[in-house]
């Protein structure tokens, strides 16, 4: 099945290197290549390319830190990568067209948005079973879990809603209308807010978890760029409550927002069609996937400057940093 | 929801349902009216003698209708979370039927919103009727620029691109390719004359030159006897030989009676574009970006055929109404119309950019695909065609040149 080749050698090298040199790893899903690029977060180089199923998009880590889950949309499955061998060890059926996945912090559950089916599927990755299917609006996309694991938020791209699902009952409890084509949802560290980006609406709605109402809508206006190309997609929030980063799609910018005042502080020029974002462990660096230019931009958080672009595969979509 | 029937069964069904509806209105049914939006679809089936030239193209008799049905289903998926319901009232008429009869039946059922899949003449007949005055129409089929210009109406929105928008979309791509010398061949219908005019205007606007033009001299022939090469293989090179040197051969044949013969039969080795070959179009089965595959899948599951541009247009109209109803929490015409005409209206339509309505002629502001028979080639507007408001307004008649006065 899987050859013990270059990656095996790499594993050997990794095993022989002293622990201090074991850098964080950044995983990038290449939607059109059916691969995951693995970047060494210190050297900022691609150190491995993992073959996965067809159309890999969203990724998430298991709670035990041993596996990386990859939604492979055209295979209607979740590929499970062993983080030691960096190879796909197994696969779990996910229902039609899985796009975004998240892992429950308290239980071995993966939440999957099934874009074609108007369903959020709950999978148990230990028992390899399906726990629930939750009907939502048209074209479910973004999925987020509150830090305490009590609330699951799902955004539906054609219904333009954020659905709030109780993770005990798996029932939709609240529906909040947001701007057009909501793509991504992200909770603040303290769980008091969830930020929902809207691609076509080009806004981020900040929803208060006390009353499930939109307390703020953030607009983006990039000077000298056609309005239609400004599209809000990936959102990443620093855990100290300072910054929010918003990927603005084909405007090729990442917005830096003050997490407290909701003011847009800066726009950072990155690669073409910037899609998703991930901070490294100590939140000093931000990694962006740039779909059209096929690279990852590394941003220094403190200076808010782009440091480097790293070429990866074709149409990089998602990015996560290993815990 | 009504399905298409024919003849007496249809009429009986109508009479029966009408009776039920009247019954509801006289009773306490009013309480629920606030949250229900009724949308009519008024369409004429295509003529029996009008079939596409290529055997690969299926004959579609319900273009528009299936798109509207999908839009209703999408709206209701959202509506169930918001307490709103959308109903489609279908008036799919035979080719020879009088569309005004369809309008009358929609009026009897108190339908305010009407999507039309009608040619320009039939649409104008409907719009001129007194029953049309208090209603709002969405044109999902007629590409005529006149409907958006001197014949424009405040109660008419256009959800399909005009001929000029399509011509501009093509011209921008040809300009990007620097294929600036065009030869133009057009058919003998009124529509082809109008499209040839739009193509000439687009060439002028985007710096191309129509080096020569000719009208195809034959009428629609018995295509099954031709086969595509018997006489055609010799006729087309001879027909084209007196045209001056050109980079691209542009065809205007909206009824599809000769243009499909042209690719590979030209005298010079030149690409063919226009209504055949590489085409500007609102929608295409090969379009896969920006989530378009989802729409194809939903549509094909429902309709068991590919989505046509007319279906896409009707889907947009229904979704625009659904979006307005959701945003305003209302199905009242005044509030919904204010929203559709306002600056906040922006609809996701799988084209990479939001679509909205132009204030000056109520034409949908939309990107246009430029597609070959099997792949999407590009999407216009092309990069570099600038516009003070939005590059999308570089397609079609812009505000300063519009003849429309509401």
Give the start-to-end residue ranges of the domains of chain A.
57-141+161-174, 178-315
| A242-251, B29-38, B348-357: least confident range | B29-38
The reply to whether B327 and B239 lie within a common domain is: no
The reply to whether B75 and B142 lie within a common domain is: yes
The reply to whether B329 and B185 lie within a common domain is: no
What chain A residue is nearest to B71 in terms of C-alpha separation? A158
pLDDT digits (tens, 9 = 90+) for A81-136: 999 999 999 999 999 999 999 999 999 999 999 988 899 999 999 999 999 999 99
- Per-residue pLDDT at B221: 66
pLDDT digits (tens, 9 = 90+) for B110-154: 999 999 999 999 999 999 999 999 999 999 999 999 999 999 999
Which chain B residues are Cβ-neighbours of A158 within 8 angstroms?
Answer: 74, 77-78, 319, 348
Which chain A residues are Cβ-neighbours of B298 within 8 angstroms?
Answer: 116
The reply to whether B168 and B138 lie within a common domain is: no
pLDDT at B53 over 90: no
CA–CA separation, B251 vs B280, rounded Å? 12
- Per-residue pLDDT at B55: 87
Mean of pLDDT over chain B: 91
| A18-22, B107-111, B256-260, B342-346: least confident range | A18-22
Mean of pLDDT over chain A: 93
By the 8 A CB rule, do A165 and A152 touch? yes
* Contact check, Cβ <8 Å, A137/B346: no
CA–CA separation, B347 vs B180, rounded Å? 34
CA–CA separation, B120 vs B126, rounded Å? 10
CA–CA separation, A56 vs A99, rounded Å? 8
Does residue B371 lie in a domain region? Answer: no
pLDDT at A3 over 90: no
- Per-residue pLDDT at B30: 39
pLDDT at B272 over 70: yes
The reply to whether B220 and B299 lie within a common domain is: no
- Per-residue pLDDT at B10: 45
Residue A27, token pair as written in the block: 């995983």
Residue B209's DSSP bridge partners are B181
Does residue B404 lie in a domain region? Answer: no
* Number of domains comprising chain B: 2
pLDDT band at residue B3 using 50, 70 and 90 as cut-offs: very low
pLDDT at A20 over 50: no
pLDDT digits (tens, 9 = 90+) for B160-171: 999 999 999 999
CA–CA separation, B118 vs B51, rounded Å? 17
Q: In what order do the strands lie in the sheet containing A67-72?
A: A56-61, A67-72, A77-82, A87-93
The reply to whether B291 and B170 lie within a common domain is: no
- Per-residue pLDDT at B222: 57
The reply to whether B299 and B155 lie within a common domain is: yes
pLDDT band at residue B51 using 50, 70 and 90 as cut-offs: confident
Structural domain of B305 = 7-161+286-366
Residue A133's DSSP bridge partners are A121
The reply to whether B258 and B309 lie within a common domain is: no
Residue B399's DSSP bridge partners are none
Q: C-alpha angle B383/A196/A224, rounded to 5°? A: 30
pLDDT at B25 over 50: no
Fold (topology level) of A57-141+161-174: Neuraminidase (2.120.10)
pLDDT band at residue B278 using 50, 70 and 90 as cut-offs: very high
pLDDT at B273 over 80: yes
pLDDT at A42 over 80: yes
pLDDT band at residue B308 using 50, 70 and 90 as cut-offs: very high
pLDDT at B24 over 90: no
Give which of A140, A197, A200 to mutate to test B binding, by max B Cβ within 10 Å. Answer: A200
* Contact check, Cβ <8 Å, B346/A157: no
- Per-residue pLDDT at B50: 75
- Per-residue pLDDT at B225: 63
User: Nearest-CA neighbor of B78 among B296, B362, B338, B348?
Assistant: B348
- Per-residue pLDDT at B22: 38
The reply to whether B291 and B275 lie within a common domain is: no
pLDDT at A316 over 50: yes
* Contact check, Cβ <8 Å, A160/B323: yes
CA–CA separation, A119 vs A132, rounded Å? 10
pLDDT at B274 over 50: yes
The reply to whether B292 and B362 lie within a common domain is: yes
Residue A184, token pair as written in the block: 């991504």
Which chain A residues are Cβ-neighbours of B328 within 8 angstroms?
Answer: none
Helix (H, G, I), strand (E, B) or coil at B236: helix
CB neighbours of residue B245 within 10 Å? 10
pLDDT band at residue B399 using 50, 70 and 90 as cut-offs: very high
Listed in sequence order, the residues at least 6 apart from B194 whose beta carbon sits closer than 8 Å to its beta carbon are B144, B145, B163
Percent with pLDDT over 70 in chain A? 93
A178-315 has which CATH code? 2.130.10.10
CATH code assigned at B170: 3.40.50.2300
The reply to whether B94 and B136 lie within a common domain is: yes
Distance from CA of B316 to the nearest CA of A (A): 12
pLDDT at A275 over 90: yes
The reply to whether B147 and B12 lie within a common domain is: yes
Helix (H, G, I), strand (E, B) or coil at B229: coil
**Tokens 């429309």 — which residue?**
B404
């Amino acid at each position: 099945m899987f050859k013990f080749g270059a990656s095996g050698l790499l594993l050997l090298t990794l095993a022989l290197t002293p622990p201090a040199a074991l850098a964080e790893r950044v995983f990038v899903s290449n939607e059109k290549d059916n691969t995951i690029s693995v970047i060494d977060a210190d050297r900022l180089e691609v150190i491995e390319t993992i073959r996965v199923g067809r159309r890999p998009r969203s990724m998430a880590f298991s709670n035990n830190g041993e596996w990386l889950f990859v939604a492979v949309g055209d295979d209607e499955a979740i590929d499970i990568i062993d983080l030691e061998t960096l190879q796909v060890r197994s696969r779990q059926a996910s229902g039609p067209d899985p796009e975004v996945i998240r892992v429950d912090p308290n239980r071995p559950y993966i939440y999957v948005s099934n874009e074609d089916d108007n369903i959020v599927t709950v999978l148990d990755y230990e028992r390899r079973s399906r726990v629930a299917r939750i009907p939502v609006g048209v074209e479910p996309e973004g999925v987020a879990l509150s830090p305490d694991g009590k609330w699951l938020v799902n955004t539906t791209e054609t219904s333009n809603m954020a659905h709030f699902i109780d993770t005990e009952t798996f029932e939709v409890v609240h529906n909040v209308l947001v701007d057009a084509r909501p793509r991504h949802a992200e909770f603040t560290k303290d769980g008091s807010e969830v930020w929902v980006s809207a691609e076509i609406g080009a806004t981020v709605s900040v929803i208060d978890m006390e009353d499930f109402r939109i307390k703020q809508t953030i607009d983006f206006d990039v000077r000298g760029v056609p309005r239609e190309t400004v599209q809000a997609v990936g959102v990443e929030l620093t855990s100290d409550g300072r910054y929010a980063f918003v990927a603005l799609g084909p405007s090729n910018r990442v917005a830096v927002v003050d997490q407290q005042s909701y003011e847009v502080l800066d726009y950072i020029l990155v690669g073409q069609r910037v899609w998703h974002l991930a901070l490294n462990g100590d939140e000093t660096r931000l990694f962006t996937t740039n779909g059209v230019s096929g690279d990852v931009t590394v941003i220094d958080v403190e200076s808010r400057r782009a440091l480097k672009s790293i070429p990866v595969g074709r149409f990089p979509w998602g990015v996560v940093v290993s815990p | 929801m009504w399905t298409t029937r024919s003849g007496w069964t249809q009429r009986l069904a109508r009479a029966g349902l009408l009776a039920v509806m009247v019954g509801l209105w006289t009773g306490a049914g009013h309480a629920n009216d606030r949250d229900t939006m009724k949308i009519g679809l008024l369409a004429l089936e295509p003529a029996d003698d009008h079939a596409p030239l290529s055997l690969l193209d299926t004959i579609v008799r319900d273009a528009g209708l299936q798109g509207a049905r999908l839009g209703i289903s999408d709206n209701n998926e959202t509506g169930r979370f918001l307490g709103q319901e959308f109903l489609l009232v279908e008036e799919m008429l035979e080719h020879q039927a009088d569309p005004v009869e369809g309008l009358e039946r929609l009026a009897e059922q108190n339908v305010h919103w009407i999507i039309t899949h009608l040619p320009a003449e039939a649409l104008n007949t409907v719009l001129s009727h007194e029953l049309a005055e208090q209603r709002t129409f969405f044109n999902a089929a007629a590409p005529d620029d006149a409907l958006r210009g001197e014949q424009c109406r405040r109660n008419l929105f256009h959800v399909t691109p005009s001929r000029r928008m399509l011509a501009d979309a093509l011209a921008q791509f040809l300009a990007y390719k620097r294929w600036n010398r065009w030869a133009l061949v057009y058919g003998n219908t009124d529509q082809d004359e109008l499209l040839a005019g739009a193509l000439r205007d687009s060439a002028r606007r985007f710096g191309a030159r129509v080096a020569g033009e000719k009208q195809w001299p034959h009428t629609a022939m018995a295509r099954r006897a031709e086969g595509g090469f018997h006489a055609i293989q010799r006729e087309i090179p001879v027909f084209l030989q007196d045209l001056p040197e050109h980079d691209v051969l542009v065809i205007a044949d909206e009824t599809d009676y000769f243009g499909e013969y042209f690719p590979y039969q030209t005298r010079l080795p030149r690409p063919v574009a226009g209504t055949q070959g590489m085409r500007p179009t609102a929608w295409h089965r090969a379009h896969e970006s920006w989530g378009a595959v989802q729409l194809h899948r939903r549509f094909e599951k429902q309709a068991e055929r590919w989505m046509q541009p007319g279906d896409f247009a009707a889907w947009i109209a229904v979704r625009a109404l659904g979006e307005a109803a959701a945003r305003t929490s209302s199905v009242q015409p005044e509030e919904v119309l204010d929203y559709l005409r306002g600056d906040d209206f922006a609809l996701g339509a799988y084209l990479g950019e939001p679509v909205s309505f132009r204030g000056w002629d109520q034409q949908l502001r939309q990107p246009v695909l430029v597609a070959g028979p099997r792949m999407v080639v590009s999407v216009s507007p092309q990069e570099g065609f600038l516009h003070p408001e939005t590059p999308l307004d570089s397609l079609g008649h812009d505000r300063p040149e519009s003849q429309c006065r509401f």
